Structure 1
């Protein structure tokens, strides 16, 4: 690894940086939520939700990787899959109130797992093992929290991400449609 990172729970004050990193992993989905391909508006959308408690994209559900210079180099958002419907509702309310969008996306998780919603690394920090480090941290967190399984979705159009997850030990599950795309549900059972 080229740089040393420290991973910690995100804080609401990380909202200056984390939503922009998150958007890299979630762009197409967020653009569908806000009904336009507007990067600035998408970051605004994620920032509002990141700063609030009790939703899928909250700082409460996010870990950040901090580099040697104290900069946020990556983020991973994950939560108890059994709480998905409860945590998704504030987002559905927000897209209805702010964007008059009544869409209700498919469930990303069936529950019974620690679900990794998004993982992304800042462009300047890519290729340095930060994504792998965040995944290992999330798996250890899930195990420590009593989860028997960690799951995530990987876009069929992103074979590099799939290879990374497989290298860590994730197994391919079912194909899953989500917000107009096709994904594999992948999972790992923490040792």
Structure 2
């Protein structure tokens, strides 16, 4: 049985793994291994007002197992959520790594992922064993409904330019590529769908 529900703090371990799967570049960017990156995301998932927070996350369960996640935010709040995530990261990482974090987080914090009039999909991730079953499409449908429910006429997302399968899906569902941008040696595509 497929169920979509609001995420809870008890989902932290699975949700943080799925978030890392969708954003493994983040660990590479900060020069963290996957375990440390997943632990950081888990801490941020439990904090309010970060882009990773369970407050902004929905999960898809199949027969009681978390199969996918969707995290969204109003475009007008995204910069604040990103800053909160960066500040909360400092307490987890300690001051020894702060110089490295600041060096790499600066460009990340300056990147305009979403405009104020857009509802932004910060993370969409489906567990590999559940892919190809329409879960990603269900989560996109949910994001678009949340956008409408919150008074937005556009839904946006950012995808790794090398993820052709995801880009194809987003295009098929009406998302239009706006532009590409680089962050370190990664290229991302910003996409928007009018609702």
Is it true that 1:62 corresponds to 2:57 in the alignment?
Answer: yes
Distance between the aligned counterparts of 2:36 and 2:4, measured in 1? 28
Counterpart check, 1:10 vs 2:15: no
**Partner residue in 1 for 2:26:** 29
Contiguous gaps of at least 5 residues in structure 1: none
TM-score normalised by the chain length of structure 1: 0.90
Distance in 1, Cα, partners of 2:67 & 2:125 = 9
**Per-residue Cα deviation, 1:1-36 (whole angstroms, up to 9, x for no partner):** xxx422111111110211101111001123323x22
Matched, 1:78 2:83: no
Higher helix share: 2
The 4+ residue runs of structure 1 with deviation greater than 6 A are none
Question: How many Å separate the matches in 2 of 1:43 and 1:155?
Answer: 19
Question: In structure 1, the residue corresponding to 2:26 is in which secondary structure?
Answer: helix
Q: How high is the TM-score relative to the length of structure 2?
A: 0.89
Alignment size in residue pairs: 184
User: Which residue in 1 is equivalent to 2:129?
Assistant: 124
User: Who is 1:41 aligned against?
Assistant: 36
State how far apart, in whole Å, the 2-side matches of 1:76 and 1:40 are: 21
When structure 1 is superposed on structure 2, of 174-183 and 23-32 the one drifting more is: 174-183
Distance 2:44 2:27 in 1: 12
Q: CA RMSD in A?
A: 1.4
